[in-house]
Amino acid sequence: MLRDWCSWHEGYAEGTKLVKIVETGSGPGGMLYACGECRVERGLTPLVDEPPPGRARRGPPRTGPST
């Protein structure tokens, strides 16, 4: 598994996930990754790219035959 930088304990760890995006007025901002241990320790919730189920609905739901 790839080892990525954990911004919380400032070291490389496996299973890091993006937990916070820091937006700044100037500059690129930053994306903070935390490893599993730090997420548990700090109570961090990883951000998920996918929208939650039920919000990606396309058009009205089909509940029956349309003819």
Are 34 and 47 in contact, with CB atoms under 8 Å apart?
Answer: no
Does residue number 35 form part of the binding site for Zn ion (CB under 5 A)? Answer: yes
Q: Is 19 in the site for Zn ion (CB under 5 A)?
A: no
Q: Could you say which of 4, 9, 20, 56 contacts Zn ion (CB under 5 A)? A: 9
Please say which residue, 26 or 34, places its beta carbon nearer to Zn ion: 34
Task: State yes or no: residue 6 binds Zn ion (CB under 5 A).
Answer: yes
Instruction: Give the C-alpha separation, 5 to 20, whole Å.
Output: 13
DSSP state of 7: T
Three-class SS state of 56 = coil
**Which stretches of the chain bind Zn ion, using CB under 5 A?**
6, 8-9, 35, 38
